[in-house]
C-alpha cells in the first residue's frame, strides 16, 4: 500500500511484529459495513459510478459471507483486517476496488470500525446484564421469606431479607447498564471522513454516511477524531467496574456456600470437586469471576497508560488498544452468562439463615430506637444499649431472656412493651422506610424490578 515511496520490502520480522490481523480480524463485519457506507458517499460525491458502487458492495458482501463461513484466508503480510479485505476486493472486482479508499485513511477507518464494534458489543453486554438481573430477581423471589444477618466489617449487624441482599446487586447492575448506555451515546459519532488527520480535498457528505451507519452525528475535529480512544477507556472503565461488582457478589456467594455459613447451596453443574478430597464442592464460578475482575482492571490500566504519552494524532501505539478491549468484552460477557446460570441454580438454606438472624444481638439497634421513641437522645441510647450488650455477654443470656427490671437498671425509659421490639418478625415489619427491608418493601421492589425488566 506504500510501495511508491519505499524501494525495499518490509522485513519479514517487522511484518510479524507489526501485524494486527491475528486479532483485529474480528472487526471484519464492521469494516465491511463502513466500507459499503463510504462507497455510497463516494457515489453521492460523483467519485464512483452506480455500477462501480454496486460492484464494491456486492464484492464486500461476498467476502463477509466467506469470512463468516470460515472460508477466507487472512494474510499476515497484509498487516490488518482492512488491507486484507481491500486487497481481496480489488483482486476480485478490479479498478473499482482500488477507488474505495478515496478520501479516507486507515486512521479514520479503524476509528470508525472500533466505534461500530464497541456499539454492538455494548448492546450485547447490556442484554447479558439484564438477564443477570432477572436471574437475581428470580432467585430472590424463591427465597423471599428467608431472613439473614446483614453484615458490616463481616460482623453481624442487623437482620435483612435474603431477597433484599440480592436486590442490592440488581441495583449495582442497573447502574452498570446505565453507564454502558451512556458510553454508547458518547461514542456514537462518526470519525470517517477525517482522513489521516486533516480530512480530504475530496468532499464526502459525512452526515449522509453517518446516517447509513446509524451514527447520531459526525466528529467535529479531524485531529481529535483519528486519535480519540476516550470511548475505549470509558468502556473499559465501565466493564472493569462491572467486574468489581461481580467480584463482590462472588465473595458473598463464596462465603455463603461455605460450611461455616451454609446460607446457600450451589448446583452441581456450577461447582467442581477436588482431585484429592472427595467430599469437596467448590464454588469455582464465583472464584474465577473474582479472579477475572483483576484482568478487567488491568486492561483499563493498559489503555490509560497507552494513551497518556501520545502526541496528536494517530500513532502506531494505538494498535495496542484492541487486545485489551477484546479481552475485556469477552471476559465480562462470559462472566455475566455463567453467573446468570449459576444464580438460577442457587438455593437459599432458610434454616441456616434464620438461625444466624436469630442472634439477639442483631436487634441491639432496635433497642436503641425503642429508647429514642421513648424520649432518650440517640447518643445516650447508644451508650445504654452498649452497656446492656456487655451485661448480656457477661450473663450469657440474650435480650429476650432478660426481665424488665434488668432493662430498667440501664434506663428508666424501658417499659413492659420492650419485649415487643425483640421479636424478629416484628422487627422486620418495622423496617418500612424507603429502601429498608420490610416484607412490604421487598415485595414491592421485586414487583417493580420484574415489571421494569419485562418492559
Contacts of residue 266, Cβ cutoff 8 Å, sequence gap at least 6 = 253, 257, 281, 283, 285, 342, 345, 346
**Number of alpha carbons in the 13 Å side-chain half-sphere of residue 344:** 12
CB 166 within 8 A of CB 140: yes
| Sequence-ordered list of residues with C-beta below 8 angstroms from that of 222, at least 6 positions apart, any chain | 108, 194, 195, 197, 198, 199
Residue among 153, 227, 247, 293 flagged as catalytic: 153
Which three cell numbers, joined as nine digits, stand for 301?
490500566
Q: What are phi and psi of 145, to 5 degrees?
A: -95, 0
Copy the grid coordinates of residue 29. 463485519
d(CA 215, CA 187): 9
Which residues on neighbouring strands pair with residue 156, listed in sequence order?
151
Q: Is residue 132 within 8 Å of residue 343, measured between CB atoms?
A: yes
Are 105 and 196 in contact by the 8 Å Cβ rule? The answer is yes
Task: Mark out the alpha helices in 103-198 (DSSP H runs).
Answer: 106-142, 162-187
The SS3 assignment for 46 reads coil
Q: Tell me, what DSSP letter sits at residue 4? A: T
Angstrom distances, CA of residue 36 to CA of 74, 81, 101? 20, 15, 11
Q: How far out from the chain centre does Cα 325 lie?
A: 13
| Residues pairing with 151 in the sheet | 156
In the set 58, 267, 274, 412, the catalytic residue is 274
Residue 411 a catalytic site member: no
Cell 466467506 identifies what position? 66
Q: Which three cell numbers stand for residue 239?
A: 466493564
| Residue 274 among the catalytic residues | yes
HSE-up (13 A, CA, CB side) for residue 402? 26
Active-site residue numbers? Answer: 153, 274
Amino acid at each position: 500500500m506504500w510501495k511508491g515511496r519505499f524501494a525495499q520490502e518490509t522485513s519479514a520480522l517487522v511484518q510479524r511484529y507489526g501485524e494486527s490481523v491475528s486479532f483485529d480480524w474480528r472487526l471484519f463485519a464492521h469494516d465491511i459495513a463502513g466500507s459499503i457506507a463510504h462507497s455510497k458517499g463516494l457515489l453521492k460525491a460523483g467519485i464512483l459510478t452506480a455500477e462501480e458502487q454496486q460492484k464494491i458492495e456486492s464484492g464486500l458482501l461476498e467476502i463477509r459471507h466467506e469470512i463468516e463461513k470460515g472460508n477466507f484466508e487472512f494474510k499476515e503480510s497484509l498487516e490488518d483486517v482492512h488491507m486484507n479485505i481491500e486487497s481481496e476486493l480489488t483482486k476480485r472486482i478490479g479498478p473499482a476496488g482500488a477507488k474505495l479508499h478515496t478520501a479516507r485513511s486507515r486512521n479514520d477507518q479503524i476509528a470508525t470500525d472500533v466505534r461500530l464494534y464497541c456499539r454492538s458489543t455494548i448492546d450485547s453486554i447490556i442484554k447479558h446484564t439484564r438477564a443477570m438481573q432477572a436471574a437475581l430477581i428470580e432467585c430472590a423471589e424463591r427465597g423471599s421469606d428467608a431472613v439473614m444477618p446483614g453484615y458490616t466489617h463481616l460482623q453481624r449487624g442487623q437482620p435483612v431479607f435474603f431477597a433484599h441482599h440480592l436486590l442490592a446487586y440488581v441495583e449495582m447492575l442497573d447502574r452498570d447498564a446505565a453507564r454502558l448506555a451512556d458510553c454508547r451515546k458518547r461514542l456514537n459519532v462518526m470519525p470517517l471522513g477525517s482522513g489521516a488527520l486533516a480530512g480530504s480535498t475530496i468532499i464526502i457528505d459525512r452526515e449522509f454516511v453517518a446516517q447509513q451507519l446509524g451514527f447520531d452525528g459526525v466528529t467535529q475535529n479531524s485531529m481529535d477524531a483519528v486519535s480519540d480512544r476516550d470511548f475505549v477507556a470509558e468502556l473499559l472503565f465501565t466493564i472493569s467496574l462491572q467486574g468489581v461488582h461481580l467480584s463482590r457478589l462472588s465473595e458473598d456467594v463464596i462465603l455463603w456456600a461455605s460450611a461455616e455459613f451454609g446460607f446457600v447451596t450451589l448446583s452441581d453443574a456450577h461447582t467442581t470437586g477436588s482431585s484429592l478430597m472427595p467430599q469437596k464442592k467448590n464454588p469455582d464460578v464465583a472464584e474465577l469471576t473474582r479472579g477475572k475482575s483483576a484482568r478487567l482492571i488491568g486492561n483499563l490500566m493498559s489503555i490509560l497508560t497507552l494513551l497518556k504519552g501520545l502526541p496528536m494524532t494517530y500513532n502506531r501505539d494505538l494498535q495496542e488498544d484492541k487486545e485489551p478491549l477484546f479481552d475485556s468484552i469477552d471476559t465480562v460477557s462470559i462472566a455475566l452468562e455463567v453467573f446468570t446460570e449459576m444464580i438460577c441454580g442457587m438455593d437459599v438454606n432458610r434454616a441456616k439463615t434464620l438461625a444466624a438472624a436469630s442472634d439477639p444481638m442483631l436487634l441491639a439497634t432496635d433497642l436503641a430506637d425503642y429508647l429514642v421513641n421513648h424520649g432518650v437522645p440517640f447518643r445516650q441510647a447508644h451508650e445504654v444499649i452498649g452497656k446492656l450488650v456487655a451485661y448480656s455477654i457477661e450473663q450469657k443470656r440474650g435480650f429476650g431472656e432478660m426481665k424488665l427490671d434488668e432493662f430498667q437498671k440501664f434506663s428508666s425509659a424501658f417499659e413492659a412493651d420492650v419485649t415487643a421490639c425483640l421479636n424478629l418478625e416484628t422487627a422486620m415489619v418495622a423496617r418500612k422506610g424507603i429502601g429498608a427491608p420490610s416484607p412490604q418493601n421487598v415485595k414491592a421492589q421485586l414487583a417493580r424490578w420484574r415489571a421494569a425488566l419485562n418492559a
